[in-house]
Structure 1
Amino acid sequence: ETLFDALDNIEPPTRPLDKALRLPLQDVYKIGGIGTVPVGRVETGILKPGMVVNFAPTGPTTEVKSVEMHHEALTEAVPGDNVGFNVKNVSVKDLKRGFVASDSKNDPAKEAADFTAQVIVLNHPGQIQAGYSPVLDCHTAHIACKFAELLTKIDRRTGKELEAGPKHVKSGDSCIVKDGSQQAHVCGDLPTVCSSWTFLLCVT
């Protein structure tokens, strides 16, 4: 069997078309004669012209006028498509990289002041305790966060609880933390939006 045969035999991934729309914004442009055009990759669901979308965590709700990919108009965009879409009566200043577009009529994305996450400390000098402030990267979001509370230390392979309420963790440890954003609210759909990732990246 050749390499080409092996590639031909790969089953295409199942696209999460049946899930609610989630589209993290990569950038936002002001295009003359068209207007405001957010761009990003559809992670789940379907984006169509005429759909009323909202932008979490703190953006507006508006109508999608058109959707394009590689300068071609689309009747719908599906997971995996990198698209630009023109929105109605919205300024570029109202939208930011890291916002998440969703269907306002079908399980819209919501803001959250905090969330719970499993963290693996890969390499960090010294100890990490409550109050530690890393930067969280999830898709296009880049957010200053704070470990409000270390809930449990767990076995990184089995997930079994090793210690409740640890005072600190160090390199090689895994733990469950209550995390809060230091800059207003974050999109409360991190597990949904980041479902294609195996982790959330936190850096100092």
Structure 2
Amino acid sequence: MMLNKKITHSNQESVDPSFSDWMSPMLEEDNSNFIGKMLAIPGENEELVEDVVADFTSPRVRKQFNALMYGFKEVIPLKLIYIFDERELEVLIYGGHSIDVGDWMRFTDYRGYKKDDEVIQWFWQEIQRWPNTMRSDLLEFATGTPRIPINGFRDLRGSDGPRRFTIEKSGDPRAPPTSQVSKNKIKLPPYKNHATLSVKLMLVLALRSPE
């Protein structure tokens, strides 16, 4: 909608999966069990589906969308965003999904640790083994967001402005790490071995409750 593009069945799926699922049978060749067949809607139903999706979606969010656009235009002229498609605009506004561990490491500060300390080496080895979804979960635990800025970790911000990701030596080695979201900080206890660190990090993902 921000790009003045028509809302379609394909992009409605990410907004309201249940409604998208309800409409999907109309696009199938064999839609004999769908109410559309009962209404004798012939042959190609794609155009009808797109019209229904647009009519169903736009009124539901129009008031909120107009308020959003009013504020957005005060900051960024709309002509500047029309060069992007919807995925590019999403990254610009919300940040990226894919997490580059090398970039994460380059823009990390340490308190009480040095980057060559054994615990820190274990930490990054563990993160490198994880799939992107788990990395995002840990990032959200530490920073409050599962996404990174478009320019990577160098542009990470805290509650008081630009603030690098920080690993601080703190806590009981018998306990899992904690976090300080406003400071983009993980408080990592000095674990005695890699296996313990691995278990404690997995526990963090299970609990997902920063201090």
Q: Which is higher, the Rg of structure 1 or of structure 2? A: 2
TM over 0.5: no
TM-score (norm 1): 0.25
Higher relative contact order structure (alpha carbons within 8 Å, sequence separation ≥ 6) = 1
Structure whose residues are more often strand by fraction: 1
Structure whose residues are more often helix by fraction: 2
